[in-house]
Chain A
Amino acid sequence: MTVDKRKLEILALATGSTALTWILNHHLGLGPIVANGLIGVLAAFLMPGALAGVAYTSSFVGMSSLAVLPSLMLALMGGLFAGLVIITTTEIYAGIGGKGGTTAAAAALVTRAISGFLG
């Protein structure tokens, strides 16, 4: 089995970006909007276009409230799901504003469903 390095990069970046947004949002108390804006601006300056898009998209998951993602572990799981959705839906609805948010909402809802299932 071969492991695609690019896909691993996306998964790692998505997980990290979600966790960082979640920490800025809840632990540092910046709130979801400022946390997401900060991550997006940093990503746009530090990364090439496609990877910045991945970081910004997955940071939407980290905007979730504590009722949806109550712990950092669940935020990491949400980021991983966001990465998987991004990898599998790269070409679908490209160029539609809000595609990233829809991807993030799917990841957040799946994570909430799994955490609810596991109790």
Chain B
Amino acid sequence: MDILLIILTAIAAGVTTYFIANNLKKGAVLASASVTLASGIIFPYFFPTTGSTLMVVAACASYGGMVSRKNAPTILDMVMISAIIGLLFSITATSYAGVGGRLGTIAAISCFAWLGVKNSAKAASRARKSDFLSKSVGIWQ
């Protein structure tokens, strides 16, 4: 299946879950469960050929959407986490198939990956600033 379609589905489901949980303040469980239930009914009905895969992708991203606001403060964070979920889902389609919790594990790995990228970027930025300051002080001395 088209990987772009999988990533777009993941982004839509992840962001919807995040929005229901944090902006509408309905809680992570209700947000994820309602997105999962809706995707399980809607996708196979409207997309008979691809729906069975897309509903699983949406459920997987909805588990990622349960991330707390502390770890993903903005919708952009959620978009990036969901995109990683879509990508990982495509890569690991055959791994541990049939094991309950596989989708949540993909979601958790994606969250950690995005937090890692963010923290690395922050650390690199701090290092550049301190390097710039030390050089500036050197010039004045």
Residues of chain A having any CB pair with chain B under 8 Å: 31-34, 36-41, 43-45, 49, 52-53, 56, 60-65, 67-69, 78, 93-109, 112
Contacts and interface: CB of A to CB of B under 8 A. Distances in A.
**Interface size for chain B: under 10, 10 to 19, 20 to 34, or 35 or more residues?**
35 or more
Interface stretch (B2-10, B24-32, B121-129, B133-141): B24-32
Contacts of A67: 98
Contacts of A64: 98-100
Contacts of A104: 100-101, 104
Given A44-B29, A53-B28, A109-B99, 14 more contacts: A36-B36, A37-B34, A37-B36, A40-B33, A40-B34, A53-B29, A61-B101, A95-B71, A96-B71, A98-B103, A98-B105, A98-B110, A100-B101, A105-B96
Interface of B: 26-30, 32-41, 55-56, 59, 63-68, 70-72, 81, 96-112
Given A33-B39, A40-B29, A100 B63 contact: yes
Given A56-B32, A95-B68, A105 B100 contact: yes
Contacts of A94: 68
A105 B98 CA distance: 10
Contact of A61 (B36, B100, B106): B100
